[in-house]
A and B are shown apart, each in its own frame.
Chain A
Amino acid sequence: MLLRWFIVLFVCCALPWSALAATEIEISSPGEQSIPLALTEFLPSEGVPSAQISGELNEVLVADLDLSGLFRFVDPGAFLDDAKLIGLYSTQVNFPQWRMLGSETLIKGTYSLQGEKLIVEARLFDVVNRRLLTGRRYVGEPKDVRRMAHAFADLVLKELTGEEGPFSARIAYISDKSGDKELWLMDVDGKRPVRLTNHRSIVLNPDFSPRGKEILFTSYRANNPDLYRKEIYSGKEAKVSYKQGLNVAGRMAPSEREIALTLSKDGNPEIYLIGTSGQVRKRITDNWGIDSDPSWSPDGSRLAFVSNRQGNPHVFIADIFSGKTERLTTRGKYNATPAWGPKGERIAFTRQEGGRFDVYTIKIDGTDERRLTFGPGNSEHPRWSPDGRFIIYSSDKGGNRVIYVMRADGTGSRRLTTLESDSRHPAWSPRW
């Protein structure tokens, strides 16, 4: 009896609340796809203010973060008084002021120059939730200021995307700036170029080892295209493969135990696997056509390469364990220089159409082919950044062949090397 009354009571109480049932809605795209970011000028915390240091820090950060395509910068002309105040802690930042400017994220920082010692402190704040997202203190010399800014840009991307940026890495390329085609190294924004070889002949096809300590390249130093390896920090250099004929396009396996390359020791160029000391371990291809330009899949189980075994040059994928080979590209008359993306999903390559080369990407199942470069000139030798967000390539659209970088969807293309010299065969190093 009592239970019945309780049920009646419960129903009576529940009836009015049923009118406040939750309404369900769906939001299937964000209102804005770029994060509003306010990047303030780095201020001197102590010592002498240096316009050069603060300028370089801002310049590098703006260039790197703008290239990422993730941000929309708040106009510095609209900044209010909080931009002129040092704020390394969330309690020191006037967040409402930044929110009023429409910013969601804020970068603030300081530097202090004490003799030859430079200390840079940088912070990334979440303006909406009024909290510190990340921050770092860098200590070095004034010449390291660009590296510090690149490192913080990587950190910003890591905090906001979950994956570190590739801006602290470096790019190897071939340039004739010194008169001969030599191996050079530069920052990802094209600054601080350094020559690594002095072969005074022709150097080709550089590629980094997966850990970034060595570079493989081909050189005609001994009047034959031989494969060399070079330690970046010590500068030590050694021949890896110097068989008769071609020893080109060497690519180190993700395990760093083997090198895939093209050898023509038997007359016809074929893909081989050799050990790091140069001995042949396995022949991957064996047919009448020319097989070249191998590129490892990230898991090290497959190789993408170019072959004209079915007529025109096309990209093929070979399983190195089973030997099974499948054709990837079907369109175009000339497809070349495949580069397997670090995520393993897409392969970048070049295709000649209308008498000129352009960069394309394609899924590894042969679907979703996308053309990334347009306009005049030849765009060749595409290579991925270690995070797969960017692609570097060489192009002669401006006259001389120079290195360009763009986002993986083909947007945001910008030139890295100067037009005065010929630069080609870029390779993006792993993160250092």
Chain B
Amino acid sequence: MSVAPLRQSNAFHSDPKFGRLLLVSLIVHGLIWVAFSFDLFGTNTRPKPPIYYVDLIHKPVLNPQAGRPDPRPAKKPQAAPVKPTAQTVTPAVPKPEVKPAVKPQVKPATVAKPKPVTKPIVKADTRKDQKVQSALDEIRERQARKDAREAMKDKIAKLAASTSVAATVPADVPVGSLDGSGDEVGSAHVDFVRTVIQENWVLSPYLIDQARIADIEAKATLVYSAAGKLMSFRINAPSGNQQFDDSLKRAITKSEQLPQPLPQDLELVVTFNLKDIAAARR
């Protein structure tokens, strides 16, 4: 009874058409896979906007004061660029022109003796001053250009130094960390999820047999969608302590919706233990 189907199957495999069909099918599937994975149709040409996760509470910040509004330093840089233009245009010329026009009219009425004395002196001095002033302006201008060149050089040197530091930083350092590279590749979405779960994990260490605190451990697998929704979870390796495992379930349930979406679907294997508490008690 068992020989007949065996023969039939041999006859089926010996059919040359089957092999060709299978080959064609595989090639077609392979081409489809290559087309989609290497984006040959250009469907995914539009770059996704980068998402950065920054834990402002737990992660160190390089310069915490950077964001504080301070009116004084803000005014200074505005005044600085104006100065050179003012200096170049500052001919004290308008002043002497205005003075003779106004002062003679005022003088007879006010009878101010010192003023007529000062006028001719001013007029004579302004011509000389103009020359001196223009010379001084030229010198200042040169100095300013020099300073600008030096500042530019310093800036370039600093940039070069910072890029060399960045080159030494590992590529996977997350954004939000002190040494973060700042690109999406290194964004700390895993750290972000970890923080959310930890914040939702409530457990008194007194619930656990004190002798077991250093050893107790459980593992859970969590699958999040890109929208930040918990799709599924399972406790892979329970601790054996009912209270500990229940607290994990509560923490995971409370973390069913993340406050931010994720760059992609995420499967996490989370190891829960109390090593930090045990270390603190030692």
A interface with B by C-beta (< 8 Å): 1-2, 5, 8-9, 12, 16, 20-36, 68-70, 104, 126, 128-129, 160-162, 343, 345, 389
Please judge, given known A-B contacts A31-B199, A129-B253, whether A24 and B271 are in contact too, CB under 8 Å.
yes
* Contact residue among B206, B211, B247 (Cβ-Cβ distance under 8 Å from A69): B206
B143 proximal to A (CB < 8 A): no
Q: How far is the CA of A299 from the CA of B29 in the complex (A)?
A: 71
Query: Contact at B243–A160, with CB atoms within 8 Å?
Result: yes
**A2: which B residues are within 8 A, CB to CB?**
13, 19, 22
Residue B140, interface by CB 8 Å: no
Q: Give chain B residues whose Cβ lies under 8 Å from the Cβ of A36.
A: 202
Q: A24-B271, A162-B242, A162-B243 are in contact. Are A35 and B204 (CB under 8 A)?
A: yes
Beyond the given pairs A12-B33, A34-B202, 15 more chain A to chain B contacts, judged by CB atoms under 8 angstroms and listed by A's residue number, are A2-B22, A8-B26, A16-B33, A22-B269, A25-B190, A27-B194, A27-B270, A28-B273, A28-B276, A30-B247, A33-B203, A104-B202, A128-B254, A161-B243, A162-B241
Residue of A nearest to B247 (CB): A30
> Which residues of B in the span 183-239 have a Cβ within 8 Å of any Cβ on A?
190, 193-194, 197-207, 210-211, 221
Residues A12 and B273 in contact, CB atoms below 8 Å apart: no
- Are A27 and B197 within 8 A (Cβ)? yes
Name B194's contact: one of A25, A104, A343, A345 (CB within 8 Å): A25
Q: How many whole Å from B100's CB to the nearest CB in chain A?
A: 80
- B104 CB–A CB distance under 8 Å: no
Chain B 257-275 per-residue mask, 1 if CB under 8 angstroms from chain A, else 0: 0000000011111111111
Complex-state Cα separation, A25 to B250, whole angstroms: 18
Interface SS of B by simple majority: helix
* Chain B residues within CB distance 8 Å of chain A: 13, 19, 22-23, 26, 29-30, 33, 37, 190, 193-194, 197-207, 210-211, 221, 241-243, 246-247, 249-251, 253-254, 265-277
Contact status A5-B23, CB under 8 Å: yes
Selected A-B contacts with CB under 8 Å, 9 pairs:
A20-B267, A23-B190, A25-B194, A26-B273, A29-B277, A126-B246, A126-B250, A160-B207, A160-B243
Contact between chains at A27 and B202 (CB < 8 Å): no
Set A23, A32, A34: member contacting B266, Cβ < 8 A:
A23
The answer to whether B206 and A25 have CB atoms under 8 Å apart is no
With A22-B267, A24-B271, A70-B207 known to touch, is A31 a contact of B22 (CB < 8 Å)? no
Query: Which residues of B sit under 8 angstroms from A22, Cβ to Cβ?
Result: 221, 267-269
A127 (CB) vs chain B CBs: closest residue: B250
Q: Which 3 residue pairs across A and B have the least CB separation, nearest first?
A: A29-B276, A31-B199, A30-B203
Give the chain B neighbours of A8 by CB distance below 8 A: 26
When distances are taken between beta carbons in the complex, the residues of chain B under 8 Å from A34 are 202, 204
Q: Which residues of A contact B200 (CB under 8 A)?
A: 31
Q: Chain A residues near B270: list those with CB within 8 A.
A: 24-27
Q: Which residues does chain B contribute within 8 Å of A69, judged by CB atoms? A: 204, 206
Q: How far is the CA of A68 from the CA of B200 in the complex (A)?
A: 22
Q: Is the CB of B253 within 8 A of A128?
A: yes
A129 to B206, CA, bound (A): 22
A25 to B267, Cβ gap below 8 A?
no
- Tell me the complex Cα distance, A261–B194, Å: 57
Say whether B275 contacts A28, CB under 8 Å.
yes
Q: How far is the CA of A220 from the CA of B190 in the complex (A)?
A: 71
- By beta carbon, the residue of chain B nearest A69 is B206
Could you tell me the distance between the alpha carbons of A34 and B247 in the complex, rounded to whole angstroms? 12
A122 to B190, CA, bound (A): 42
The CA-CA distance from A27 to B241 in the complex, in Å, is 17
- CB-contact partner of B205 in A33, A128, A160, under 8 A: A33
Q: Report how far A1 CA is from B253 CA in the complex, Å.
A: 50
Minimum distance in angstroms from A32 CB to a CB of chain B: 5
A27 touches which one: B13, B210, B272 (CB < 8 A)? B272
Contacts of B274 in A (CB 8 A): 28-30
B-chain residues with CB within 8 Å of residue A345 when the two chains form the complex: 210-211
A70:B29 contact, CB within 8 angstroms: no
Q: Smallest CB–CB gap between B154 and chain A, Å?
A: 42
Residue pair B198, A31 in contact (C-beta under 8 Å) = yes
User: Which chain A positions have C-beta within 8 A of B277?
Assistant: 29
Closest to B219 in A: A24
- B residues less than 8 Å from A70 (CB atoms): 204, 206-207
Bound together, the chains give a CA A21 to CA B265 distance in angstroms of 10
A32 contact from B37, B201, B243, Cβ within 8 A: B201
- Most chain A beta carbons < 10 A, residue from B33, B204, B247, B266: B204
Residues of B within 8 A of A27 (CB): 194, 197-198, 201, 270-273
Residues in chain B near residue A162, CB distance under 8 A: 207, 241-243
Instruction: Establish whether residues A9 and B26, one from each chain, have CB atoms under 8 Å apart when the complex forms.
Output: yes
Nearest Cβ distance between residue B20 and chain A, in whole angstroms? 12
User: B29 near A12 (CB under 8 angstroms)?
Assistant: yes
Minimum C-beta distance from A16 to chain B (A): 6
Query: Which of B37, B207, B254 has the most A CB atoms < 10 Å from its CB?
Result: B207
Which of A9, A30, A160 has the largest number of chain B CB atoms within 10 A?
A30
Chain A residues closer than 8 Å to B37, beta-carbon distance: 16
Q: Which of A16, A22, A34 has the most CB of B within 10 A?
A: A22
- CB pair B202–A35 under 8 Å, yes or no, is yes
CA distance A129 to B190 in the complex (A): 25
- Give A327 Cβ to nearest chain B Cβ, in Å: 24
CB distance from A206 to the nearest CB of B (A): 28
In the complex, are the beta carbons of B265 and A12 less than 8 A apart?
Answer: no
Q: Roughly how many angstroms separate A127 CA and B241 CA in the complex, as a whole number?
A: 20
For the complex, what is the distance from the CA of A23 to the CA of B201, rounded to whole Å? 19
**Alpha-carbon separation in the docked complex, A129 to B268 (Å):** 22
B189 to chain A, nearest CB (A): 10
Q: Shortest CB–CB separation between residue A9 and chain B, in angstroms?
A: 6
Q: How far is the CA of A27 from the CA of B203 in the complex (A)?
A: 12
User: Which A residues lie within 8 Å of B268 (CB)?
Assistant: 22-25
Q: In the complex, which residues of chain B have a beta carbon less than 8 angstroms from the beta carbon of A68? A: 206
Contact call B269/A25, Cβ cutoff below 8 A: yes
Q: How far is the CA of A34 from the CA of B201 in the complex (A)?
A: 10
- Taking the closest CB of chain A, its distance from the CB of B253, in whole angstroms, is 5
Residues of B within 8 A of A28 (CB): 273-276
- Chain A residues positioned under 8 Å from B267 (CB to CB): 20-23
Q: Is the CB of A161 within 8 A of B202?
A: no
Contact between chains at B206 and A161 (CB < 8 Å): yes
CB distance from A70 to the nearest CB of B (A): 5
Docked pose: A29 CA to B214 CA in angstroms: 11
CA distance A29 to B271 in the complex (A): 11
- Bound form: Cα–Cα A26–B201 in Å: 13
Complex-state Cα separation, A430 to B190, whole angstroms: 49
